């Protein structure tokens, strides 16, 4: 792995070109190349700012699309040619590829195995630089250097050409890119000699499945720094050598140039999901007088500021790379969808308008988001710790969806439902936001939406998920259906649905309790115990059950996809985060501890997942699978079972073993990063902070684990500072001997979150052997 540092480093500071000393840059610890084998569409987008709409990246295989809508596509470290540089990268959203070329004109990218059949170019990763906010590569076939950077809604390109009479820039608008799905229409035209505008309308796989009739539209308005010598167009039907517009599938333009050696041509591209007019407004607002170099500087300053909210210190640079690359992905994952004027996309290509304050500024951003499935075990906890505005944007977005469409959406692509997993944890995430004090919205509206998400089923839209809610409410569990479907009578993934709905019912119940709605609380808390209906005392597992009350036959506890989504009974039996004490008591404390410890002993041999198999689902039939959401809280359950030293041990070993710093071994092998949630898990765990309940308690707590770093300085979301110091820290000193917080000894392995958020100093003293007396007297609460 190569980390490029361009400044002279003196100790812990960097000597800037101005001669001033600055705090050491954190950007050198971010390596976007980690985990780029079999990575998801959003994952490799270095030329972006945190949460930006403009996420520019090279694509090695984006035009291939993907058949099922979710598979790895875009940039793969195992492929050695680039077909273009794409602007839009979100869950179910992709489009608009540019490519500089030289020689005879080609307007198709060509295939990976026959690159010379198209305009794609080979490249050598030795000549590639990927940093937060910036990307650079030499295209070997053309000897052209391509550079990318971005503001929130504007993409910047700089192409440095050799001398040639046949230099070109291809603007490929009307073709499939990544998760885009089928292109329904496209168009691009020159506005004048150096400005262009265009659009592409797509029909992603998951929109087709969950929100039929919806569409995803992308718009651009661009400016090129040099007038082309000639402009031509192309579509699926062919090339027109002198034409300034193109319409229909496959639409694009090409710019012909005569270039001198080392000549740079720059392009700025304003993006929007609502209109070409708003794409132009975004460009003018963010980049009218901005050069490429200044945009790069600004982007990297933004990354430095956001990453710097969590500043860790220690001798282990590998851990720092994991930490800051994980934080980078957490802050990169979900992007804004609203324009500078507050316009945002609604269903079917219509345009909505967000509220502006008295100064004409946006109070929040509307965002695109993959499902929050499992994100409450890492991403929302990270947001709540130091990035509350991100959490606010998520809550406001989902409440806007509720107002516009009548139901929360699980995943959202331009307001279209793209559920992905068919469940819905949005209500839980909003209830948790309320519990941690994020309340700058209509509380009554939010509560009614949360309640309806748990108890509502009449006229429920498919894309809002939980289509078996009626059955869950009738039976207290979702009955198993052998066919692969979910409806009002039950589900094929009935057991995992039951466990998930039980957890989210608990979250809604706690919100109801805090709002004094005790009748609702009693009803919801009853449903939070749905997991008990699936407990089989014969095997001490949570097993799918049919509507007649009998457990399913031919039951294999290691088998995924039968009763359990993306997991199996060995993993999902521990999916009772709302009441760990009851689960431990039901199984038996000794049996619980012995079995769970043996699970981690066994799973360590396979890297805590699917071994070295490069596939996102490689670990779903394993005994434990850190590569997917259903397992992420399990190693923290020892805090509840009287053996917190095992949480300390296994969280530290997972951080060391599952996570890597290589292109193939990044987040396991062939990870399923889901827009930053696995990176967030590493960040929170490395700080030694976590909550298995995802802050859904009426009074949320923080559990304590084994901090990775000697010191962490955290800028909390309330602008206070928390310092975590770890004495006697090393790779072998995994175990907490004592903890002191603001001068007082902590004897519990947890504390209330509101105490932590007051800031101050927490000191861990570590050792190589467990202190089995520490943290065992009073386990974390399982209050119902």
- pLDDT tens digits for 168-195? 999 999 999 999 999 999 999 999 999 9
pLDDT for the residue 672? 73
Q: Give dist(CA 547, CA 556) in Å, integer.
A: 19
> For the segment 469-485, what is each residue's pLDDT rounded down to a tens digit?
999 999 999 999 999 99
CB atoms under 10 Å from CB of 78, counted, come to 11
Q: Given a cut of 70, is residue 7 above it in pLDDT?
A: no
Q: Given a cut of 90, is residue 1 above it in pLDDT?
A: no
pLDDT for the residue 456? 98
* Mean local confidence (pLDDT), 148-165: 98
Contacts of 469 (CB under 8 A, 6+ apart): 454, 455, 456, 457, 460, 501
> For the segment 703-748, what is each residue's pLDDT rounded down to a tens digit?
999 999 999 999 999 999 999 999 999 999 999 999 999 999 999 9
> For the segment 606-642, what is each residue's pLDDT rounded down to a tens digit?
999 999 999 888 999 999 999 999 999 999 999 999 9
Q: Given a cut of 60, is residue 19 above it in pLDDT?
A: no
- Reported as a pLDDT band with limits 50, 70 and 90, residue 24 is confident
pLDDT for the residue 16? 44
Q: Given a cut of 90, is residue 674 above it in pLDDT?
A: no
Q: Give dist(CA 728, CA 746) in Å, integer.
A: 18
- Reported as a pLDDT band with limits 50, 70 and 90, residue 671 is low
Average pLDDT over all residues of the chain: 95
- Reported as a pLDDT band with limits 50, 70 and 90, residue 10 is very low
Q: Given a cut of 90, is residue 23 above it in pLDDT?
A: no
Q: Given a cut of 90, is residue 648 above it in pLDDT?
A: yes
Q: Given a cut of 90, is residue 574 above it in pLDDT?
A: yes
pLDDT for the residue 783? 87
Of 496, 625, 633, 466, the C-alpha closest to 565 is 496
At 4, list the tokens. Answer: 């490029």
* Mean local confidence (pLDDT), 750-758: 98
pLDDT for the residue 115? 83
pLDDT for the residue 357? 85
* Mean local confidence (pLDDT), 282-286: 98
At 250, list the tokens. Answer: 């496959």
Q: At what angle do helices 494-514 and 426-435 cross, to 10 degrees?
A: 30
pLDDT for the residue 11? 33
CB 233 within 8 A of CB 253: yes
At 442, list the tokens. Answer: 């209509």
- Reported as a pLDDT band with limits 50, 70 and 90, residue 3 is very low
**What residues are paired with 144 via a beta bridge?**
139
Q: What is the DSSP letter of 780?
A: P
**What residues are paired with 542 via a beta bridge?**
535
Percent of the chain with pLDDT over 70: 97
CB 138 within 8 A of CB 150: no
* Mean local confidence (pLDDT), 653-657: 97
pLDDT for the residue 196? 99
Of 53, 60, 100, 63, the C-alpha closest to 365 is 53
- Reported as a pLDDT band with limits 50, 70 and 90, residue 356 is confident
Weakest-pLDDT range from 47-56, 113-122, 668-677: 668-677
Q: How many residues does the chain have?
A: 784
Q: Given a cut of 50, is residue 419 above it in pLDDT?
A: yes
Q: Give dist(CA 386, CA 690) in Å, integer.
A: 14
Q: Given a cut of 80, is residue 368 above it in pLDDT?
A: yes
- Reported as a pLDDT band with limits 50, 70 and 90, residue 258 is very high
Q: Given a cut of 50, is residue 15 above it in pLDDT?
A: no
> For the segment 93-149, what is each residue's pLDDT rounded down to a tens digit?
999 999 999 999 999 999 999 988 999 999 999 999 999 999 999 999 999 999 999
pLDDT for the residue 67? 87
> For the segment 423-468, what is each residue's pLDDT rounded down to a tens digit?
999 999 999 999 999 999 999 999 999 999 999 999 999 999 999 9
Three-state secondary structure of 466-477 = CCCHHHHHHHCC
Percent of the chain with pLDDT over 90: 92
CB atoms under 10 Å from CB of 601, counted, come to 11
* Mean local confidence (pLDDT), 364-387: 96
Question: Tokens 């684990």 sit at which residue?
Answer: 705
pLDDT for the residue 276? 98
> For the segment 727-737, what is each residue's pLDDT rounded down to a tens digit?
999 999 999 99
Give the global pTM.
Answer: 0.96
Of 664, 665, 658, 662, the C-alpha closest to 626 is 658
pLDDT for the residue 8? 33
């Amino acid at each position: 792995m190569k980390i490029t540092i361009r400044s002279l480093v003196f100790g812990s500071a960097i000597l800037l070109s101005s001669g001033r000393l600055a705090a050491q840059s954190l950007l050198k610890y971010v390596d976007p190349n980690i985990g780029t084998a079999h990575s998801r569409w959003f994952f490799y987008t270095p030329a972006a700012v945190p949460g930006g709409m403009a996420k520019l990246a090279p694509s090695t295989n984006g035009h291939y699309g993907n058949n099922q809508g979710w598979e790895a596509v875009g940039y793969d470290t195992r492929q050695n040619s680039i077909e273009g540089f794409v602007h839009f990268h979100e869950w179910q959203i992709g489009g608009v590829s540019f490519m500089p070329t030289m020689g005879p004109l080609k307007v198709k990218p060509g295939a990976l195995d026959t690159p010379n059949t198209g305009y794609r170019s080979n490249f050598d990763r030795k000549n590639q630089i990927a940093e937060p906010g910036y990307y650079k590569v030499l295209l070997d076939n053309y000897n052209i250097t391509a550079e990318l950077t971005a503001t929130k809604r504007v993409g910047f390109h700089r192409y440095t050409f050799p001398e040639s009479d046949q230099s070109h820039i291809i603007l490929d608008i009307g073709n499939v890119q990544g998760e885009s799905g089928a292109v329904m229409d496209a168009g691009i035209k020159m506005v004048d000699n150096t400005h262009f505008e265009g659009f592409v309308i797509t029909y992603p796989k998951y929109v087709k499945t969950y929100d039929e009739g919806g569409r995803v539209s992308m718009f651009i308005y661009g400016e090129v720094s040099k007038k082309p010598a000639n402009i031509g167009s192309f579509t699926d039907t062919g090339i027109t050598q002198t034409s300034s517009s193109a319409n229909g599938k496959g639409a694009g333009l090409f710019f012909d140039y005569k270039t001198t050696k080392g000549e740079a041509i720059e392009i700025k591209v304003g993006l929007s999901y609502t209109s070409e007019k708003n794409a132009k407004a975004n460009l003018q607002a963010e980049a009218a007088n901005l050069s490429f170099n200044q945009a790069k500087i600004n982007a990297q300053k933004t990354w430095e500021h956001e990453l710097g909210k969590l500043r860790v210190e220690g001798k282990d640079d590998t851990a720092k790379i994991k930490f800051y690359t994980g934080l980078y992905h957490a802050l990169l994952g979900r992007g804004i969808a609203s324009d500078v004027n507050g316009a945002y996309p609604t269903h079917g290509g219509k345009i909505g308008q967000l509220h502006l304050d008295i100064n004409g500024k946006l109070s929040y951003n509307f965002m695109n988001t993959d499902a929050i499935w499992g994100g409450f075990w890492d991403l929302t906890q990270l947001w709540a710790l130091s990035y509350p505005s991100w959490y606010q944007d998520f809550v406001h977005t989902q409440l806007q969806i509720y107002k516009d469409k009548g139901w929360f959406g699980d995943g959202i692509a331009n307001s279209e439902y793209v559920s992905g997993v068919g469940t819905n944890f949005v209500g839980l995430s909003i209830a948790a936001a309320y519990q941690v004090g994020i309340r700058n919205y209509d509380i009554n509206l939010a509560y009614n939406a949360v309640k309806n998400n748990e108890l509502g089923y009449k006229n429920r839209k498919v894309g809002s998920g939980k289509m078996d809610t009626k059955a869950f409410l009738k039976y207290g569990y979702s009955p198993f259906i052998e066919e692969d479907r979910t409806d009002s009578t039950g589900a094929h993934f009935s057991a995992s649905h039951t466990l998930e709905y039980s957890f989210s019912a608990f979250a809604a119940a706690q919100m109801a309790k805090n709002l004094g709605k005790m009748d609702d609380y009693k009803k919801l808390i009853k449903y939070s115990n749905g997991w008990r209906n699936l407990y089989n005392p014969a095997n001490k597992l949570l097993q799918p059950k049919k509507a007649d009350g009998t457990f399913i036959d031919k039951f294999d506890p290691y088998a995924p996809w039968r009763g359990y989504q993306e997991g199996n009974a060995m993993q999902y039996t521990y999916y009772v985060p709302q009441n760990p004490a009851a689960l431990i008591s039901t199984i038996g404390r000794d049996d619980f501890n012995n079995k769970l410890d043996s699970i981690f002993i066994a799973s360590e041999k396979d890297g805590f997942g699917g071994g070295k198999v490069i596939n996102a689902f490689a670990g779903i039939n394993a005994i434990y699978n850190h590569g997917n959401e259903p397992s992420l809280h399990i190693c923290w359950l020892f805090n509840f079972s009287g053996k917190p030293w095992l949480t300390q041990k296994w969280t530290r070993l997972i951080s060391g073993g599952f996570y890597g710093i290589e292109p193939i071994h990044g987040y396991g092998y062939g990870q399923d990063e889901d827009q930053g949630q696995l990176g967030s898990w590493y960040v929170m765990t490395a700080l030694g902070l976590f909550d298995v309940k995802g802050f859904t308690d009426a009074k949320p707590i923080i559990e304590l684990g084994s901090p990775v770093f000697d010191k962490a300085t955290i800028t909390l979301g309330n602008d206070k500072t928390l310092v975590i110091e770890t004495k006697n820290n090393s790779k072998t000193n995994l175990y907490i001997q004592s903890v002191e917080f603001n001068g007082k000894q902590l004897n519990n392995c947890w504390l209330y979150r509101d105490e932590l958020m007051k800031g101050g100093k927490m000191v861990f003293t570590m050792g190589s052997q467990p202190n089995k007396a520490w943290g065992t007297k009073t386990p974390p609460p399982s209050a119902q």
